[in-house]
Amino acid sequence: MGRGSTGVTEDTSPFRGPEAASRTQEIQAVLRNVGRRQWWLWSTAVMVTILLTLGIASFAFPGLLDNQQGESLYSFNLDQAVRGLVGLVLVFNVYTIYQQLQIRRMQGALVQQVSALDKVEARTEEVYKLALLDSLTGLYNRHCGEQRLGAEIARARRNGVPLTVIMLDLDDLKVVNDKFGHAAGDQLLKFFALRLNKAIRGSDLAVRLGGDEFLLLLPECKPQEVSHVLGRLSGLELELDDQKIPVTYAAGWATYTPGETAEELIGRADKELYVKKRESKGREEPATVK
């Protein structure tokens, strides 16, 4: 199975709490009320138009009615009829103005409700990020990583699919902090986190465990495919004060064995990481002495 280079697709839809749900119901109620008022307004307009048409027709064809019936079917005071129609138009205009004012008031209330809902969602998203994401790098934090690992182990056990975890330890973070300052160290961590996200698929998970330690969860990833991920993390360089700093790391990985726990899986990957770090230091010692 080939591994794409897309980054993690984070679930940015925040949990909608009771307050947000309540405001959503209020907005829906206002919209229904506005719809009813608009329907009554249009219905009244149609009724008034029909009545005015009938009234005007009665003025235009009195002779026709007289000729057909031989005598007038009705008699009316023209002046009173005109006053009645004028009164009907005035009442309708007053009613229309009132309904428009009510609709505008509801629209204003709707705008306020939407604004309040946006604020609730913004606060909820902040809580979501604090609960699940590492504040510095934007990767998932240790707690979220542990929960996801438990879920992926259960899925691997249930479906019989492979699951690989990679432990990574970033090199020389302390050296960068001492030489360039902690702001540069933070920049290094952010840079490495960004590259981690670009090296994995959307179904994978990149986690910052703390300090310079990271974890990658790779569902349905076979051991021979790990090299593809790590290959995308080779040759990295970070520019600091017009200097190019090589970004290197040590990595250890393990593939889930049926029956083992999350702690055992992580423990095996951590042991492999420790071996890789010792081998790396052993290769560097002759150069350091020289």
Q: In angstroms, rounded to a whole number, what is the distance separating the alpha carbons of residues 69 and 72?
A: 7
DSSP 140: B
DSSP 133: B
Q: What is the largest CA-CA distance in the chain?
A: 131
Q: How far is CA 143 from CA 134, 260, 262, 283, in A?
A: 10, 20, 13, 35
Single out the catalytic residue among 134, 169, 204, 212: 212
Q: In angstroms, rounded to a whole number, what is the distance separating the alpha carbons of residues 87 and 81?
A: 10
Concerning whether 171 is annotated as a catalytic residue, the answer is no
Q: Name the residue among 204, 186, 199 with its Cα closest to residue 228.
A: 199
The pair of three-digit structure tokens given for residue 179, joined into one six-digit string: 């030489």
Contact yes or no for 215/166 (Cβ under 8 A): yes
Catalytic residues: 212
